[in-house]
Structure 1
């Protein structure tokens, strides 16, 4: 009954909107309601006449600067406002609407209709209720009209009295942040965050700080994440969401026992709150018992469409048997070679009917595109055919896909990456035991190297040392380092503050370089490690080499929100802004996380580099 009323109301309101917009006069609306409108309500003229004035009283009129021309509800003995000629008590007062009419329905519908200049005039009128902006923004975003959603939602925050923003602005803020992220408007998103943190009411400031904390965790800037969490805690000390936020942060910091203890603290602190429902209380209890498993389960169920196959896949991975034997042989050059057999070929061909994302050509690259845009077919196929997981080529693409979605979440290691790593370990031991050169270009060796790369990336947050050891083993196998694993190792060492080991690795790379030209990231890493070790003169020399290699690099590195460089898929030209942007993305988090490093760089830029 309620669903039928919602459909009828939406159809009638849309028609009423069109009728009003013809001349913005009340009699025109009532004439429409008695004829076309009544047909939309099952030929119920009385209901149509009673509903039309309700909608008129919330309809913004362009001729009045988008204000509402409100009709007073008649007294019982006065003429009815539907122009029937009857007394109100004998007419519309006797009609009971089948359900509620949302108070801002007409504004929401109007915002969906307006275009261009008129839309901007309406948004600038300062008449639009916050709830209408939110609902219209949601409808536009869900319909794929992100630009329209952005325009509508920005009206709530542009030149806003931030302290006076209503509670409805929080979900609007969250949605606008997501729209900016989806459209790549990083500067606008950063400005929105800054304004909310600096000027917003407490609930909005807390929402912005939570997002900032998550962003810092995602970029592995754990120092900033910790500082932001403390600010969030000061802003909203009794917010239940802080329980999982702190658990996530502690797991990112590699402190699972503290995560469990703090989750239990939050459970005891919040469990007696009357505004927590049973699901929230159960979540707090589970979080205190096993933070990693609880957060992993939450992540798996985050997407309703993929929840079932992801749960099945994790169960299959946990039930992994020992790995099948690889087909290894010594080729004519005396090197060890893996060749995929007929059974694996057949399985891989079946897999590719569902998994259509291909590998990048470059050895150290991942997949072309995002396999999660249409993941249900290949997840379902894999769950139906768990035997496919014995095929290295399938495991390789699966590992890359999983690393892309879950690799930055340390709590996903145990359920997803650990069983994959164990299967690869069995194969790697067999390769190492052969004690023969095993290089990228022979046979199907690249499949195993790519599988190792996917696991290195996937385990980087949840099992850093295991990831690092695997990278070192693959480098020993492939002396040419075809996948650029030394770069990844350097980033890990810098992230963990192991500056002496980082410098040792840099020296090894420089010694093994054929052309003697160090890559830009190497120079930046060297300068940072030397700065941390207070070897400032050597650090300055490294910066001089950075400036000589790419004049854009240091300028982009110190700026908070420089113009983004579009991703083309091609290798950037050495010395170009595109190359500098690539290494900014890679290296800036480490510089930002190092106290005083950005300021030192800024000072160096203001003085001529020698």
Structure 2
């Protein structure tokens, strides 16, 4: 039977075992090179001793039949594998004649044995796959010589697949491609396009901006129009990421004049429009490009690009996944995982009451607890999850029940905030929906016990709720945002997340002055400037002048800069003493309050005059 015949029936785990077997085979060939018989004997022996899980899955009980099949696999693997000793070219065994002994080792003549099966009866092994696996196991010195013997296009594709795995493989890919571009320009042409594009990706992934910049500058002036266009396209996207729209379009037009019929211009133009938020224009140009590409697509070679353009002009997260994955490798896989998790979200964590407080606890199931600790270890070992997305994405995909952990959702929110993508909504939308489903299942809207921030196990859920509030606000869903923040204050009245200042300002904006007073009374000795000044303003609006005067004087004594700041028509943002923090009573505190609340004071009749009057009395 052929591998193609088996594919329809093999599970993903089965195919993983097949790939693992081929990797081990490449390693053995590397050590046996150039002794084919030694490899075939070793491979057949190991297969018969259950070394390869792949052969175990075949459930062949007859030992002779197993050895026969293993030998056939070994011969085909050897014939497809490039040998370092042969300048990275295969050294296939000669095909036996009909009266020669059969290759399977049965002792029969070929015509009486496997010849009856025909070529379709032999296991088919991909030469491209074996080339990639051999390059993975050779020494660094041998790897650096591969470019002299193998097509550069093939090396570019191999490098692209390696860089998606982890940093070590990305570095190996860079080591493999670098010698190509140490050649003089006249030795490089259109056949090096794929390798050059992979080099640009590797420089970004491995944080080598100088090397990438030098490559782009060099190839924008290269004699080959194809390589020029590749570099110009990269420069366009870099300038687009930096918000230098005019320069990005100038380079796009240069690339267009250089090679007006290059199909890649379609993707580049739509990407620039997307980066600049011109979604309506992107939709129109996308439809234009679909018609144009259909006319250029004579033999189906542009099918993938046409599908990509269709995805780019679609609004759904699933359709956007391939594009997002191009900009941030791994992000597209995360979108797919989130979409699946939303359909039937599991509940891995649960709440309980401990010491009169509500707490989130891990499941009692030992396997689930081990899985969560494995996830935690992965996150702790990677400062930036997107530098090596492979391991943690693989864990998510292998264990979809991780979607039931609010800790995992909290970590994913942090990872998504780190994404550099022109369309973060494609990732945030399914993440918000999953987070909302889990939070509503986990936390009561009206808690009977406090859900304290002091309990470390509670913080992920509280952070996720804060994320949901911020996201609703960004989506102009102010009502939902306020409701979530009120929910947070009911859960954690100590308000370690600073929700109260946002809530009181929103109450005042809505004219809910009594609600603002009630909220402020929960924090009588507060340091929060929004609570103190908002309390006074709400009382003033309610006509409780005496109490309002008292509260405003207390607020001014605590934060005297506020008065002058609110009265200024214009004010520059001050330099913060400690980025990420606000100094109590400082100029930065006054500036932030002015930004969030000055409109509230201006919208209240006589409030500014009253503020000035009380300040003078103080």
TM score, norm. by length of structure 2: 0.49
TM score, norm. by length of structure 1: 0.49
Larger Rg: 2
